[in-house]
A and B are shown apart, each in its own frame.
Chain A
């Protein structure tokens, strides 16, 4: 039973090695301490200072989020809240994070939140994790060599190992909070491994996302704005090979035929241009899987028709948007650059279709007030994340219905005299 530690130092370990010493020393990281804020800011700086990394949309988004300028406002309210009343926030203790393999930078956001809240942090990376994960680990490891970061280095351990039950069992026994961020299959597997009685589990399951455009508004807006939306939609789709939970797989237009027909046509032309100007590199396997999804959906969705922009993004026009068809798309769509395009006459027609799987709604052509009305009229089956098109993948500490700062902390009740 072997595993590799990759942060703070690189070394091969066995389960017996792990067992022979405590996972962490008794060295606590106070919540929201400057050391952590500086450390995260330094990760950000390192990414921005590299000409290669700063060009990568995934890494630059991470670097942007880790900046001091982003973190300080996030934690400021938390700190004052702690001092305000009879609730004092403290870390949970040891958190065990299992990030997903489809989004290679995600573990860094989790790491940031776990350390900011003062937790001792264990992260399991898959040996199949994307290159970007290992690149980030190297960067973190180098920063941790600095004496200034000694406390962080004593509170953070990143391991790489296959799904080996014994190792997961070990970490599950040692942790106070286990965060399973992965496919439904992984969640089921890991959930079978017991936690310590007082510990808790939070899981982030497979989800499904849409984009939404107001056809009339789209037609009425400027050419430049239309172009921009096509480009942003393209980016939202192609990043992560459309395999992230947040990747839009359905484009739902709202409007009547007068607007829908010309609006769709216009967007198709624009998307074709974006398609031609960008080389979206795919692996053969992704292309094969895309054909599998596409043909399954063509077979299942009555009267659908294929608009083939190019080999990059294919658009499948779905005539009837109902629960059954949505279910088919949930089941058969595996990303790889396929957009199922459909329409409804009013924005309120969305609600009856929704299931617990719907996660992100990326919109264009609606005001904040429109969106708030939509949310106010919603039931418990509603998206967890609503964002403008182009921002589908932007990370937030509010995720899948949770405030992650709250999850990573416990509340101490102070009953005043």
Chain B
């Protein structure tokens, strides 16, 4: 199947055109697949009058809003016994969390996708791994997005060490032990951006040396904006304080685990070969050209157990043409779409209403 073909190639080896075709065909197949397995999704396709013969480009692949997974139980698993896991998004705003139903096959695809995406950052070998979080983060039930993210990444490491205790204080003893054993060779560091900044870098002893570390971090950019820490300031602080130079931010949603958008040298987030991004006008939902801000739509070949292969997120972003490869494009996340106003702004339209 298309996913396998993409996964088995390394991105540069697969010509862009062929990749695009594989992605488009694969997403179209997934649309049909979920249509046949998920009644709610089938109803949506019926309501929007989706016709496969009229679906001619990535932009024609139907999407569903990400919040649908918070409101409804949407999945394409027909035997409930085949559900191996239900992921819940962290719900900070008091909203209901997303519920993502996973079966064996989709879990496998997520792992494969993640491996494929991280390969060129980490290499082929597993590395000793320092996790900037509390040991309790992976033990909650149901698993939070944070916990699922950590568990997903843990497969790329060995000799795992949690750098924080359950009260999120730096566990000096564990940290010292880990570094004395592993810091002489490449090792992996993973955590959520804000936690890495607040609970790790700000609390680290001054003599710490992370020269051989590869830091992969994700999320929490809103809190970082509140702290007025830019991505470049983040990197600089790590380099200056800890000698760490390999620092990779990524973007991804719990609704599309495994499809991660790694930060390139230009600071933009690049989709893996089996994913793509479209930016849409927040009102007309029409696709927007490079350089214009709109709602971020994420496409991915991974989701099989739930209709999440084409999701309209609540994040706002801009798509930029690739700096090095004009055939690619990088995503800039600008902000979260604001919450609905209780009431629209001043009634400027009202004067025209007769």
| Residue ranges of A at the interface with B (Cβ–Cβ < 8 Å) | 55-58, 101-104, 128, 130-131, 231, 234-235, 238-241, 243, 277-289, 291-292, 295-296, 298-306, 311, 316, 332, 334, 336
Residue of B64, B337, B350, B354 near A285 (CB, 8 A) is: B337
- With a cutoff of 8 Å between Cβ atoms, the chain B residues found around residue A104 in the complex are 343
State the Cβ distance, A277 to closest chain B Cβ, in Å: 8
Residue of A131, A231, A284, A295 near B316 (CB, 8 A) is: A284
Q: Which of B65, B312, B337, B345 has the most CB of A within 10 A?
A: B65
Known interface pairs A56-B350, A292-B68, A299-B74; 18 further A-B residue pairs with C-beta atoms within 8 A, sorted by A's residue number:
A58-B347, A58-B350, A103-B343, A128-B342, A240-B343, A279-B349, A283-B345, A284-B337, A285-B338, A287-B282, A288-B295, A288-B340, A292-B71, A295-B68, A299-B44, A299-B72, A305-B49, A336-B340
A-B contacts, 20 of them at CB < 8 A, read: A58-B347, A101-B343, A103-B343, A238-B353, A241-B343, A278-B353, A280-B349, A283-B341, A284-B283, A284-B337, A284-B338, A285-B338, A287-B282, A288-B314, A291-B285, A298-B44, A299-B68, A304-B43, A304-B46, A305-B47
Residue of B49, B282, B316, B343 near A306 (CB, 8 A) is: B49
State the Cβ distance, A252 to closest chain B Cβ, in Å: 19
Within 8 A of A (CB), among B312-354: 312, 314, 316, 337-354
At the interface, yes or no: B152 with Cβ under 8 Å from chain A?
no
- With a cutoff of 8 Å between Cβ atoms, the chain B residues found around residue A279 in the complex are 348-349, 352
Check B71 against A332 for contact (C-beta < 8 Å). Answer: yes
At the interface, yes or no: B180 with Cβ under 8 Å from chain A?
no
Residue of A55, A56, A287, A296 near B283 (CB, 8 A) is: A287
- With a cutoff of 8 Å between Cβ atoms, the chain B residues found around residue A296 in the complex are 68, 71-72
Residue of A nearest to B74 (CB): A299
Asked, given contacts A279-B352, A291-B312, whether A304 binds B47 with beta carbons under 8 Å apart, the answer is yes
Within 8 A of A (CB), among B271-287: 282-285
Residue of B43, B46, B349 near A278 (CB, 8 A) is: B349
Residue of A235, A277, A306 near B47 (CB, 8 A) is: A306
- With a cutoff of 8 Å between Cβ atoms, the chain A residues found around residue B337 in the complex are 284-285, 288
Check B41 against A299 for contact (C-beta < 8 Å). Answer: yes
- With a cutoff of 8 Å between Cβ atoms, the chain A residues found around residue B285 in the complex are 291, 311
- With a cutoff of 8 Å between Cβ atoms, the chain B residues found around residue A278 in the complex are 349, 352-353
Within 8 A of A (CB), among B40-59: 40-41, 43-44, 46-49
- With a cutoff of 8 Å between Cβ atoms, the chain B residues found around residue A280 in the complex are 349
Check B341 against A299 for contact (C-beta < 8 Å). Answer: no
- With a cutoff of 8 Å between Cβ atoms, the chain A residues found around residue B342 in the complex are 101-102, 128, 130, 243
Check B284 against A311 for contact (C-beta < 8 Å). Answer: yes
Check A57 against B347 for contact (C-beta < 8 Å). Answer: yes
Check B44 against A295 for contact (C-beta < 8 Å). Answer: yes
Check A289 against B340 for contact (C-beta < 8 Å). Answer: yes
State the Cβ distance, A27 to closest chain B Cβ, in Å: 36
Check B353 against A282 for contact (C-beta < 8 Å). Answer: no
Residue of B nearest to A101 (CB): B342
Q: Which of B341, B343, B351 has the most CB of A within 10 A?
A: B343
Check B351 against A295 for contact (C-beta < 8 Å). Answer: no
State the Cβ distance, A411 to closest chain B Cβ, in Å: 37
Closest 3 CB pairs of A and B: A299-B40, A298-B47, A285-B340
At the interface, yes or no: B2 with Cβ under 8 Å from chain A?
no
At the interface, yes or no: B67 with Cβ under 8 Å from chain A?
yes
State the Cβ distance, B44 to closest chain A Cβ, in Å: 5
Residue of A nearest to B67 (CB): A292
Residue of B nearest to A60 (CB): B350
Check A300 against B72 for contact (C-beta < 8 Å). Answer: yes
Tell me the bound Cα distance from A336 to B341 in angstroms.
10
Asked, given contacts A241-B341, A285-B339, A299-B68, whether A306 binds B48 with beta carbons under 8 Å apart, the answer is yes
- With a cutoff of 8 Å between Cβ atoms, the chain A residues found around residue B41 in the complex are 299
Tell me the bound Cα distance from A336 to B43 in angstroms.
22
Residue of A nearest to B48 (CB): A306
Check A302 against B43 for contact (C-beta < 8 Å). Answer: yes
Asked, given contacts A292-B71, A299-B41, A311-B283, whether A281 binds B344 with beta carbons under 8 Å apart, the answer is yes
Check B314 against A300 for contact (C-beta < 8 Å). Answer: no
State the Cβ distance, A364 to closest chain B Cβ, in Å: 17
Tell me the bound Cα distance from A289 to B67 in angstroms.
9
- With a cutoff of 8 Å between Cβ atoms, the chain A residues found around residue B346 in the complex are 131
Tell me the bound Cα distance from A306 to B343 in angstroms.
25
Binary A-proximity of B281-297 (CB < 8 A = 1, otherwise 0): 01111000000000100
Q: Which of A56, A281, A295, A296 has the most CB of B within 10 A?
A: A295
